[in-house]
Amino acid sequence: MKKLTQIAKNIKLVILDVDGVLTDGSIILDNKGNEFKSFNVRDGHGIKMLIRAGITVAMITGRYSKVVERRAHELGIKEVYQKCYDKRIAYRHLIEKYSLDPEEVAYIGDDIVDLPLLKVSGFSASVADATAEAKNASMMITKNKGGKGAVREICDFILKAKGVWKGILDGYSQT
């Protein structure tokens, strides 16, 4: 198998699950029908760096939440697929829309519903607290848990593999 950095070097699209990946998996509901989710700011910054580096980012989730729409908008993610019970449909749509091969796609998941995309994507990753099945189907397992910096870990890895990390750091170092 190719070295993981060689695989990550070719990534043009990063697809993220939401609950358990961008969040810790908690869904907080109040008596007024409001839903709350907690997102990690560093994960968000990693996503923004991917987008600035020309990598498309998408979200595919089985649930629907206005909070997800808001977070995606804040981060500049234009490809958001909610209430996706068969994530393969959205995946195929993205592949066709952007004329990509599966080898150019990274998928990050945490549970058995993510197995189909973890198995077909060129780069697959699971968060540290993912199910054993998701971990077994992944090329990379993060040190951080979902919603706790795992996405940032993957973003940084991809950006370093693509050789753009030093330029990103230099951009922040300039006064």
Contact 17, 121 (CB under 8 A): no
Give the pLDDT score at 2. Answer: 65
Instruction: Tell me how far CA of residue 27 lies from CA of 24, 34, 48, 69, in angstroms.
Output: 9, 10, 24, 15
| pLDDT tens by residue, 57-108 | 999 999 999 999 999 999 999 999 999 999 999 999 999 999 999 999 999 9
Estimate to the nearest angstrom the gap between the alpha carbon of 90 and the chain centroid. 14
Instruction: Please tell me the distance from the alpha carbon of residue 8 to that of residue 6, in angstroms, as a whole number.
Output: 6
**Sheet strand arrangement including 140-141:** 79-81, 56-60, 13-16, 105-109, 123-126, 140-141
Mean pLDDT to the nearest integer, 2-10: 93
Q: Domain ranges for the chain, please list them.
A: 4-173
Give the pLDDT score at 174. Answer: 76
Mean pLDDT to the nearest integer, 115-133: 98
CATH class of 4-173: alpha beta
The β-bridge relationship of strands 140-141 and 56-60 is unpaired
